Amino acid sequence: MKNIFRVLVALVLLGGWALAASALYVVRAPGGIVVIPKDCLGFRDTYVDVTGWDLMQTASHPVVAQRLIETNHADRLSHITKSTSVDDLVTQIRAAQKDLRAAPPATQPVKTAQAAVL
């Protein structure tokens, strides 16, 4: 009985840690690590290392970039551009996101020989 109780407590603790992990972003930046809340639960991008990011990688992760901006941690992305202020940095990130959404796909669908015969 004692072992069953220990297993149940361990499962509850592990479940709670998993739920907490799904509700937070852990962002590793050049200035250190910052933990910020997510808008919705999910395990996508729970741990994000932005130390090697450039402007296009930031634009390809719009949810993480937006949460950093909303929680006043946009300065953690200051290494991606040569911006003079946080407002300038935010403007550059949003412009890059807009350009990424407006850009056409890089490749066209491949036509196979069988599709050409049909």
Q: What percent of the chain has pLDDT over 90?
A: 31
pLDDT of 27 reads: 93
Q: Give the chain's mean pLDDT.
A: 85
pLDDT of 107 reads: 67
Residue pair 61/20 in contact by the 8 Å Cβ criterion: no
Q: What share of the chain is helix, strand, coil (3-state, %, to 5)?
A: 55, 15, 35
- Taking the model in full, what pTM does it have? 0.71
Residue pair 69/58 in contact by the 8 Å Cβ criterion: no
Three-state DSSP at 75 gives helix
Whole-angstrom distance, CA of residue 81 vs CA of residue 87: 12
Whole-angstrom distance, CA of residue 23 vs CA of residue 45: 11
50-105 pLDDT, tens digit each = 998 888 888 888 889 889 999 999 888 888 888 778 888 888 888 888 877 776 66
